[in-house]
Amino acid sequence: MNEHQSGATRSYDWNLIKSFLAILDHGTLSAAAIKLNISQPTLSRHIEELENSLGVVLFERGRRGAAPTAAALAVADHAREINIATQAISLSATGKSQELHGTVRITASQIVATYLLPAILTRLMNEAPQVEIELVATDEVENLTQRDADIAVRMVRPQNPNLIARKVNEIHMGIYGRKDYLKTRPPIHAPHDLDHHRLIGYDTDERIISGMAELGVIVERNFFRFRCDDQVTCWQALCDGLGLGFAPNYLARTNQNLERLAEQFAIPPLPVWLVTHREIKSNRRIRMVFDFLAEELAGLDLN
């Protein structure tokens, strides 16, 4: 067997393939490292090892990121096939585990992860001290089929047939302003009165704009004079009297300085879905955490 044949039949560490695909999909080492939750030096070592094994250069590094070479593009499809197969094996093996000891990775929005889940997870870990929890506070939708998380708390029901989703509650929202801010501004009786106020909204995220459009209020990005995609920052800006903002009623009730606007601005509630992959629902540890979260979230007053 010649050297080329030997390299072609050599088996590769799955982590090398995973790192290769992360850089290919995200364009830079820094973005790929964040996605994989590993350091950039580790990521660089993975690519160097894979390049040495294959005998090719996979990425040209420059100021704008890591540009894939022709060799990288040539093996990309095969790497993705390996990715899919490995994920299927991992999900199947995880689903058969009956051990309670170990880690469960949960993803939720920043607001839910910051203000709802800690108290619930405290009770969970008191009852099940053998379980370790990793909580990913992000407004990005983590991919459960790729094991970015074991369980997700989402406001939108997933369409993937391989995911199990259980609706456990509804979060009711309102438009709020700090009382001392409202005293300095014209009263609000109709949607057009909002033009005389500072509105707090998202920067690149268009969910608020889309939601207002469904209510018949058409606005553009510059309608919001303060814009930030971080939900916790927007909440703090509202609490500090920067302007009017959208907030969950359960959270607004914790701040006596906030006042809810008239009921004509009622917002449809957001459904709370608890989601996991069909394969790992049979995992005893994940099933226990899933059921615990479902019961706890269902018992909350989120009106």
Residue 5, pLDDT score: 37
pLDDT tier for residue 113 given thresholds of 50, 70 and 90: very high
- Copy the structure tokens of residue 103: 């880690």
Give start and end residues of each alpha helix (H) in the chain.
3-9, 14-26, 29-36, 40-54, 70-95, 110-115, 117-127, 179-183, 207-214, 231-239, 249-252, 284-298
| 211 neighbors 288 (Cβ within 8 angstroms) | no
The owner of tokens 């609706």 is 167
Q: For residue range 36-72, list pLDDT tens digits in order.
A: 878 888 888 888 888 888 888 888 877 667 888 888 8
Mean of pLDDT values over 244-262: 94
Q: Rounded distance, CA 35 to CA 120, Å?
A: 26
Q: Could you give the CA distance from residue 269 to residue 7 in angstroms, rounded to a whole number?
A: 56
Average pLDDT, the chain: 85
- In tens, the pLDDT along 178-201 reads 999 999 999 888 778 888 899 999
On the question of pLDDT at 10 being above 70, the answer is no
Question: Whole-model pTM?
Answer: 0.67
pLDDT for the residue 8: 39
Identity of residue 119: A
The predicted pLDDT at position 97 comes to 46
What domains can be seen in the chain, in order of their start residue? 3-95 (1.10.10.10), 102-169+271-298 (3.40.190.10), 171-269 (3.40.190.10)
pLDDT (tens digit per residue) in 124-173: 999 999 999 999 998 777 667 666 789 999 999 988 888 899 999 999 99
User: In this structure, how many other beta carbons lie within 10 angstroms of the beta carbon of residue 252?
Assistant: 22
Q: What share of the chain is helix, strand, coil (3-state, %, to 5)?
A: 50, 20, 30
pLDDT at 194 (0 to 100): 85
Paired with 199 in beta bridges are 244
